[in-house]
Amino acid sequence: MTSQALDIGFIGLGIMGAPMCGQLIKAGHMLFVHTRGKLPESIAGSNATCCTSARDVAERADILITMVPDTADVEAVLFGEAGVAAGLMASAGGREGSARKVVIDMSSISPIATKAFAQKINALGCDYLDAPVSGGEVGAKNATLSIMVGGPQSTFERVRPLFELMGKNITLVGGNGDGQTAKVANQIIVALNIEAVAEALLFAARAGADPARVRQALMGGFASSKILEVHGERMVKRSFDPGFRIELHQKDLNLALSSARALGVALPNTATAQELFNSCAAHGGKAWDHSAMVRALEKLANFEIGQKAV
Protein backbone atom coordinates (compact mmCIF):
# COMPACT_ATOMS: atom_id res chain seq x y z
CA MET A 1 0.00 0.00 0.00
CA THR A 2 1.33 3.47 -0.84
CA SER A 3 1.26 6.53 1.40
CA GLN A 4 -1.64 7.99 -0.62
CA ALA A 5 -4.63 9.32 1.31
CA LEU A 6 -7.22 6.65 2.01
CA ASP A 7 -10.87 6.58 2.97
CA ILE A 8 -10.78 5.11 6.48
CA GLY A 9 -13.66 4.37 8.83
CA PHE A 10 -13.21 4.55 12.59
CA ILE A 11 -15.86 3.35 15.03
CA GLY A 12 -15.36 4.00 18.75
CA LEU A 13 -13.82 7.30 19.81
CA GLY A 14 -13.18 6.82 23.52
CA ILE A 15 -10.02 7.31 25.59
CA MET A 16 -8.00 5.20 23.15
CA GLY A 17 -9.94 5.52 19.91
CA ALA A 18 -9.96 9.32 19.69
CA PRO A 19 -6.17 9.82 19.73
CA MET A 20 -5.64 6.80 17.45
CA CYS A 21 -8.11 8.27 14.98
CA GLY A 22 -6.36 11.61 15.36
CA GLN A 23 -3.06 10.12 14.19
CA LEU A 24 -4.70 8.96 10.95
CA ILE A 25 -6.29 12.37 10.38
CA LYS A 26 -2.94 14.07 11.02
CA ALA A 27 -1.39 11.89 8.30
CA GLY A 28 -3.85 13.26 5.75
CA HIS A 29 -6.33 10.39 5.44
CA MET A 30 -10.05 10.97 5.02
CA LEU A 31 -11.87 9.67 8.10
CA PHE A 32 -15.50 8.59 8.39
CA VAL A 33 -16.30 8.22 12.08
CA HIS A 34 -19.04 6.95 14.34
CA THR A 35 -19.22 6.74 18.13
CA ARG A 36 -22.05 6.14 20.58
CA GLY A 37 -20.92 8.92 22.92
CA LYS A 38 -20.27 12.59 22.33
CA LEU A 39 -17.91 13.28 19.46
CA PRO A 40 -14.56 14.34 21.01
CA GLU A 41 -13.60 17.95 20.34
CA SER A 42 -10.33 16.86 18.74
CA ILE A 43 -12.27 14.93 16.10
CA ALA A 44 -15.18 17.36 15.77
CA GLY A 45 -12.70 20.13 14.97
CA SER A 46 -11.04 18.11 12.20
CA ASN A 47 -12.07 17.35 8.63
CA ALA A 48 -13.45 13.92 9.64
CA THR A 49 -16.99 13.12 8.46
CA CYS A 50 -19.38 12.08 11.25
CA CYS A 51 -21.64 9.20 10.21
CA THR A 52 -24.98 8.27 11.75
CA SER A 53 -24.34 4.51 11.88
CA ALA A 54 -21.71 1.81 11.55
CA ARG A 55 -23.39 0.80 8.28
CA ASP A 56 -22.84 4.29 6.90
CA VAL A 57 -19.15 4.12 7.83
CA ALA A 58 -18.74 0.71 6.18
CA GLU A 59 -20.39 1.89 2.97
CA ARG A 60 -18.07 4.89 2.65
CA ALA A 61 -14.70 3.55 3.86
CA ASP A 62 -12.25 1.13 2.27
CA ILE A 63 -10.42 0.34 5.51
CA LEU A 64 -12.61 0.11 8.62
CA ILE A 65 -11.29 0.19 12.21
CA THR A 66 -13.31 -0.64 15.33
CA MET A 67 -12.16 0.29 18.84
CA VAL A 68 -14.90 -0.52 21.36
CA PRO A 69 -14.90 -1.98 24.90
CA ASP A 70 -15.89 -5.65 24.77
CA THR A 71 -16.78 -8.72 22.68
CA ALA A 72 -20.51 -7.96 22.75
CA ASP A 73 -19.85 -4.39 21.60
CA VAL A 74 -17.80 -5.59 18.62
CA GLU A 75 -20.48 -8.09 17.68
CA ALA A 76 -23.16 -5.39 17.84
CA VAL A 77 -21.11 -2.96 15.75
CA LEU A 78 -20.29 -5.58 13.14
CA PHE A 79 -23.51 -7.57 12.88
CA GLY A 80 -26.25 -5.56 14.56
CA GLU A 81 -28.99 -3.65 12.79
CA ALA A 82 -27.38 -0.88 10.72
CA GLY A 83 -24.01 -2.50 11.48
CA VAL A 84 -20.80 -2.90 9.51
CA ALA A 85 -21.89 -6.13 7.80
CA ALA A 86 -24.93 -4.43 6.32
CA GLY A 87 -22.74 -1.69 4.90
CA LEU A 88 -20.26 -4.18 3.49
CA MET A 89 -23.02 -6.15 1.77
CA ALA A 90 -24.22 -2.95 0.15
CA SER A 91 -20.79 -1.80 -1.04
CA ALA A 92 -18.19 -4.58 -1.18
CA GLY A 93 -19.55 -6.90 -3.83
CA GLY A 94 -17.17 -7.91 -6.61
CA ARG A 95 -14.00 -6.38 -5.14
CA GLU A 96 -10.86 -8.45 -5.56
CA GLY A 97 -7.26 -8.39 -4.35
CA SER A 98 -6.02 -5.01 -3.15
CA ALA A 99 -9.48 -3.49 -3.77
CA ARG A 100 -11.13 -5.69 -1.09
CA LYS A 101 -12.41 -3.84 1.92
CA VAL A 102 -10.65 -4.55 5.22
CA VAL A 103 -12.17 -4.67 8.71
CA ILE A 104 -9.62 -4.18 11.52
CA ASP A 105 -10.80 -4.75 15.06
CA MET A 106 -8.40 -3.05 17.48
CA SER A 107 -10.56 -3.74 20.54
CA SER A 108 -9.50 -6.31 23.16
CA ILE A 109 -11.98 -9.17 22.97
CA SER A 110 -12.38 -12.96 22.96
CA PRO A 111 -9.98 -14.82 20.64
CA ILE A 112 -12.66 -17.48 20.04
CA ALA A 113 -15.32 -14.95 19.07
CA THR A 114 -12.77 -13.16 16.90
CA LYS A 115 -12.29 -16.25 14.74
CA ALA A 116 -16.05 -16.48 14.20
CA PHE A 117 -16.30 -12.75 13.37
CA ALA A 118 -13.47 -13.09 10.83
CA GLN A 119 -15.22 -15.99 9.07
CA LYS A 120 -18.43 -13.98 8.76
CA ILE A 121 -16.64 -10.92 7.36
CA ASN A 122 -14.61 -13.09 4.94
CA ALA A 123 -17.89 -14.60 3.70
CA LEU A 124 -18.93 -11.08 2.63
CA GLY A 125 -15.86 -10.83 0.37
CA CYS A 126 -13.84 -8.69 2.79
CA ASP A 127 -10.64 -9.19 4.77
CA TYR A 128 -10.37 -9.17 8.56
CA LEU A 129 -7.57 -8.47 11.03
CA ASP A 130 -7.67 -8.52 14.81
CA ALA A 131 -5.15 -5.95 16.03
CA PRO A 132 -5.50 -5.19 19.75
CA VAL A 133 -3.11 -2.67 21.26
CA SER A 134 -1.10 -2.08 24.42
CA GLY A 135 0.33 1.18 25.67
CA GLY A 136 -2.69 2.96 27.09
CA GLU A 137 -3.79 6.52 26.53
CA VAL A 138 -0.20 7.78 26.59
CA GLY A 139 0.78 5.35 23.84
CA ALA A 140 -2.25 6.31 21.76
CA LYS A 141 -1.46 10.01 22.06
CA ASN A 142 2.22 9.52 21.28
CA ALA A 143 1.67 6.96 18.50
CA THR A 144 3.85 4.46 20.37
CA LEU A 145 1.33 1.63 20.83
CA SER A 146 2.29 -2.02 20.62
CA ILE A 147 -0.01 -3.64 18.06
CA MET A 148 -0.56 -7.42 18.06
CA VAL A 149 -2.07 -8.60 14.79
CA GLY A 150 -3.87 -11.76 13.72
CA GLY A 151 -4.79 -12.44 10.11
CA PRO A 152 -3.43 -13.05 6.60
CA GLN A 153 0.12 -11.82 5.85
CA SER A 154 -0.98 -10.07 2.64
CA THR A 155 -3.69 -8.08 4.42
CA PHE A 156 -1.29 -7.21 7.24
CA GLU A 157 1.28 -5.85 4.77
CA ARG A 158 -1.42 -3.89 2.96
CA VAL A 159 -2.47 -1.94 6.06
CA ARG A 160 0.84 -1.89 7.93
CA PRO A 161 1.47 1.79 7.01
CA LEU A 162 -1.68 2.66 8.98
CA PHE A 163 -0.50 0.70 12.00
CA GLU A 164 2.82 2.56 11.79
CA LEU A 165 0.95 5.85 12.22
CA MET A 166 -0.46 4.63 15.54
CA GLY A 167 2.25 2.41 16.99
CA LYS A 168 5.90 1.39 17.12
CA ASN A 169 6.05 -2.32 18.01
CA ILE A 170 3.89 -3.96 15.33
CA THR A 171 3.85 -7.76 15.12
CA LEU A 172 1.93 -10.21 12.99
CA VAL A 173 1.43 -12.95 15.58
CA GLY A 174 -0.40 -15.47 13.39
CA GLY A 175 -3.88 -16.12 12.03
CA ASN A 176 -7.16 -14.54 13.06
CA GLY A 177 -7.57 -14.73 16.83
CA ASP A 178 -3.83 -14.89 17.56
CA GLY A 179 -3.59 -11.13 17.98
CA GLN A 180 -6.28 -11.30 20.65
CA THR A 181 -4.52 -14.23 22.33
CA ALA A 182 -1.33 -12.14 22.52
CA LYS A 183 -3.30 -9.27 24.05
CA VAL A 184 -4.79 -11.52 26.73
CA ALA A 185 -1.25 -12.68 27.55
CA ASN A 186 -0.17 -9.03 27.71
CA GLN A 187 -2.94 -8.20 30.16
CA ILE A 188 -1.95 -11.08 32.42
CA ILE A 189 1.61 -9.74 32.58
CA VAL A 190 0.47 -6.15 33.15
CA ALA A 191 -1.93 -7.10 35.96
CA LEU A 192 0.66 -9.20 37.77
CA ASN A 193 3.28 -6.46 37.42
CA ILE A 194 0.87 -3.88 38.84
CA GLU A 195 0.26 -6.20 41.78
CA ALA A 196 4.00 -6.71 42.33
CA VAL A 197 4.79 -2.97 42.21
CA ALA A 198 1.88 -2.22 44.54
CA GLU A 199 3.04 -4.82 47.08
CA ALA A 200 6.63 -3.57 46.94
CA LEU A 201 5.82 0.10 47.40
CA LEU A 202 3.26 -0.64 50.12
CA PHE A 203 5.84 -2.76 51.96
CA ALA A 204 8.43 0.00 51.65
CA ALA A 205 6.07 2.71 52.88
CA ARG A 206 4.83 0.63 55.82
CA ALA A 207 8.45 -0.07 56.79
CA GLY A 208 9.04 3.67 57.05
CA ALA A 209 10.95 4.29 53.80
CA ASP A 210 10.01 7.02 51.34
CA PRO A 211 8.16 5.11 48.57
CA ALA A 212 9.08 7.73 45.96
CA ARG A 213 12.79 7.27 46.67
CA VAL A 214 12.43 3.49 46.82
CA ARG A 215 10.82 3.61 43.38
CA GLN A 216 13.64 5.82 42.11
CA ALA A 217 16.24 3.39 43.43
CA LEU A 218 14.49 0.38 41.90
CA MET A 219 14.29 2.09 38.50
CA GLY A 220 18.05 1.63 38.15
CA GLY A 221 18.07 -2.12 38.80
CA PHE A 222 16.71 -5.44 37.58
CA ALA A 223 13.26 -4.63 39.02
CA SER A 224 12.88 -1.72 36.61
CA SER A 225 9.83 -1.86 34.35
CA LYS A 226 7.36 0.36 32.54
CA ILE A 227 4.80 -0.48 35.23
CA LEU A 228 7.19 0.66 37.99
CA GLU A 229 7.96 3.82 36.01
CA VAL A 230 4.42 4.87 35.12
CA HIS A 231 2.09 3.16 37.58
CA GLY A 232 4.53 3.27 40.48
CA GLU A 233 4.49 7.05 40.13
CA ARG A 234 0.69 7.03 40.04
CA MET A 235 0.61 5.03 43.28
CA VAL A 236 3.00 7.40 45.04
CA LYS A 237 1.25 10.55 43.76
CA ARG A 238 -2.27 9.06 44.28
CA SER A 239 -3.15 9.86 40.68
CA PHE A 240 -5.83 7.37 39.63
CA ASP A 241 -7.70 9.14 36.85
CA PRO A 242 -8.01 6.52 34.16
CA GLY A 243 -5.64 5.90 31.38
CA PHE A 244 -7.03 2.34 31.45
CA ARG A 245 -10.05 1.66 33.64
CA ILE A 246 -10.17 -1.20 36.15
CA GLU A 247 -13.44 -2.46 34.62
CA LEU A 248 -11.69 -2.93 31.28
CA HIS A 249 -8.83 -4.86 32.86
CA GLN A 250 -11.39 -6.99 34.69
CA LYS A 251 -12.91 -7.78 31.30
CA ASP A 252 -9.51 -8.81 29.93
CA LEU A 253 -8.73 -11.04 32.90
CA ASN A 254 -12.16 -12.64 32.56
CA LEU A 255 -11.13 -13.55 29.02
CA ALA A 256 -7.87 -15.00 30.36
CA LEU A 257 -9.51 -17.04 33.10
CA SER A 258 -12.38 -18.36 30.98
CA SER A 259 -10.01 -19.33 28.17
CA ALA A 260 -7.67 -20.99 30.68
CA ARG A 261 -10.55 -23.07 32.02
CA ALA A 262 -11.40 -24.20 28.50
CA LEU A 263 -7.74 -25.12 27.92
CA GLY A 264 -7.30 -26.84 31.29
CA VAL A 265 -4.62 -24.33 32.35
CA ALA A 266 -4.30 -22.98 35.91
CA LEU A 267 -3.61 -19.24 36.26
CA PRO A 268 -3.54 -18.79 40.05
CA ASN A 269 -1.87 -15.38 40.19
CA THR A 270 -4.12 -14.03 37.45
CA ALA A 271 -7.09 -15.09 39.58
CA THR A 272 -5.61 -13.24 42.59
CA ALA A 273 -5.11 -10.08 40.54
CA GLN A 274 -8.72 -10.30 39.38
CA GLU A 275 -9.94 -10.55 42.98
CA LEU A 276 -8.00 -7.40 43.85
CA PHE A 277 -9.63 -5.60 40.91
CA ASN A 278 -12.99 -6.96 42.09
CA SER A 279 -12.34 -5.47 45.53
CA CYS A 280 -11.62 -2.07 43.99
CA ALA A 281 -14.81 -2.25 41.93
CA ALA A 282 -16.80 -3.18 45.05
CA HIS A 283 -15.51 0.02 46.67
CA GLY A 284 -16.72 2.17 43.77
CA GLY A 285 -13.50 2.00 41.78
CA LYS A 286 -14.43 0.34 38.49
CA ALA A 287 -13.59 3.58 36.66
CA TRP A 288 -10.28 4.11 38.49
CA ASP A 289 -7.06 3.59 36.59
CA HIS A 290 -5.87 -0.02 36.93
CA SER A 291 -2.86 1.17 38.94
CA ALA A 292 -5.40 1.74 41.72
CA MET A 293 -5.25 -2.00 42.40
CA VAL A 294 -2.90 -0.80 45.15
CA ARG A 295 -5.95 0.49 47.04
CA ALA A 296 -7.22 -3.07 47.55
CA LEU A 297 -3.87 -4.06 49.06
CA GLU A 298 -3.87 -0.93 51.21
CA LYS A 299 -7.24 -1.88 52.66
CA LEU A 300 -5.89 -5.31 53.55
CA ALA A 301 -2.93 -3.63 55.28
CA ASN A 302 -5.00 -0.82 56.84
CA PHE A 303 -2.27 1.51 55.58
CA GLU A 304 -1.90 3.81 52.55
CA ILE A 305 1.35 4.51 50.74
CA GLY A 306 1.01 8.22 51.46
CA GLN A 307 0.78 7.73 55.24
CA LYS A 308 3.65 8.06 57.67
CA ALA A 309 4.53 4.76 59.33
CA VAL A 310 4.35 4.76 63.13
pLDDT values of the chain reduced to their tens digit, one per residue, 310 residues: 445 778 999 999 999 999 999 999 999 999 999 999 899 999 999 999 999 999 999 999 999 999 999 999 999 999 999 999 999 998 865 566 667 999 999 999 999 999 999 999 999 999 999 999 999 898 999 999 999 999 999 999 999 999 999 999 999 999 999 999 999 999 999 999 999 999 999 999 999 999 999 999 999 999 999 999 999 999 999 999 988 899 999 999 999 999 999 999 999 999 999 999 999 999 999 999 999 999 999 999 999 998 888 7
Residue tagged active-site, from 183, 251, 286, 308: 183
Query: What residues contact residue 231 under an 8 Å CB cut-off, 6+ apart?
Result: 194, 197, 289, 290, 291
- Report which of 97, 105, 160 is spatially closest to residue 128, judged by C-alpha positions: 105
101 is catalytic: no
Q: Is the dihedral of CA 281, 285, 287, 291 positive or negative?
A: negative
Cα torsion 146, 149, 154, 157 to 10°: value is -10
CA atoms within 13 A on the CB side of 126: 28
